[in-house]
Structure 1
Amino acid sequence: MIRSESSVEVPRSAEDVFAFLADGTNNVKWRSGVHAIRHVRGRGVGAEFEQLLTGPGGRTMRANYRVVTSKEPTLLEFEVTAGPARPRGSFTITTVSSASCRVLFKIELEPQGVMKFVRGMIEAQVAAEVAAIQNLPRAMRNA
């Protein structure tokens, strides 16, 4: 199993951060590897998004996802439903003060088939994805 996580403090309320993250179209504002994203259907559990992003080796790949858990304002979990890899991820939001919260972003992936032979490259990609959470405070400042 490949696992990676990163956290950041955001000078906004947990409710604001949850709403920003739940709207997947905001991904382009804080995840540099996302080329395009479109809301397909739904809100909360079952919401679906189509996205294109830079994958291992710099290739553009489809990485559509669906929200599987939505507990506002503390937990948002998703699973990738299209693309060569099918990771699961989560955002856990913890209030620090009335004007600040901490966001923990985790991704887990069980490599399948040929992906097992490029594990190092996939680990680096997953680590880069979760590290992008460091861009969230700046993205929300401009939102």
Structure 2
Amino acid sequence: MFTITERIDIGKDREEVFAFLTDPANRARWDASVVSEELLTPPPVKEGSAIRTRMSVMGRPIAFDWRVTEFQAPRAMAATTTSGTMPTSLRFTFAEQDGWCRVTATIEASPAGMLRLVEPIVAQTASSTLAAGLARARELLESDSSST
């Protein structure tokens, strides 16, 4: 099992950052590994919602289904996989800081089978992908062209 945490400060208020990062329709915009993400249950996203994420990792298509386990707008959102290549949980927290927002994202994953043999590579890939995604989210949110 591995745990990774990435933090980023975004020059927008917490409500706007929370709304953008927790909307499945925006995920492919800020996370380059995501091909699409869709809400499988009726909107809006809330605790108990189901989400499907289709990704491309090292050129291979992967799909994860998630169950939202925590949704406390605009403070936190968490989800756990219900299907996919490895059991994974993801938690975002959003802290208001005088007109800007500190986002902390934590991923816990338990590679199994052959993935266990390359767990350090999987963890490093997840960490760099998450960091790049959060940087892209900041760029989108802080630019004039962002829309949530």
CA contact (8 A) 2:2 2:110 kept: yes
Q: Which residue of 2 aligns with 1:6?
A: 6
Q: Name the structure 1 match of 2:76.
A: 75
Q: Structure 2: how far apart are the matches of 1:20 and 1:102? A: 14
Cα deviation for residue 64 of structure 1 reads 2.1
Match of 1:62 in 2: 63
Q: How does 1:1-143 map to 2 (within 5 A)?
A: 1-42=1-42, 43-55=45-57, 57-97=58-98, 99-131=99-131, 132-140=133-141, 141=143, 142-143=146-147
Alignment gaps of 5+ in structure 1: none
Shift in alpha-carbon separation, 1:32–1:50, aligned structure 2, 3 A = same
SS in 1 for 2:120: helix
Query: Could you say what secondary structure the match of 2:40 adopts?
Result: strand
Query: Is the contact between residue 52 and residue 60 of structure 1 (CA under 8 Å) also seen in structure 2?
Result: yes
Q: Where do 5+ consecutive residues of structure 2 fail to align?
A: none
| Structure 2 CA distance for aligned equivalents of residues 12 and 71 of structure 1 | 18
For the residues of structure 2 that align with 1:127 and 1:71, how far apart are their CA atoms? 24
Q: Which amino acid aligns with 1:69?
A: E
The one-letter amino acid paired with 2:77 is L
With structure 1 as the length reference, what TM-score do the two structures score?
0.89
CA–CA separation in structure 2 for the residues paired with 1:137 and 1:60: 26
CA offset at residue 6 of structure 1? 1.0
The one-letter amino acid paired with 2:53 is: Q
TM-score, normalising length: structure 2? 0.87
Cα pair 1:106 1:130 within 8 Å, conserved = no
- Give, in angstroms, the shift of residue 2 of structure 1: 0.7
Partners of 2:130 and 2:37 in 1: CA distance? 18
- Percent identity between the two aligned chains: 21
Q: RMSD across aligned C-alpha pairs, in angstroms? A: 1.5
Distance 2:140 2:52 in 1: 21
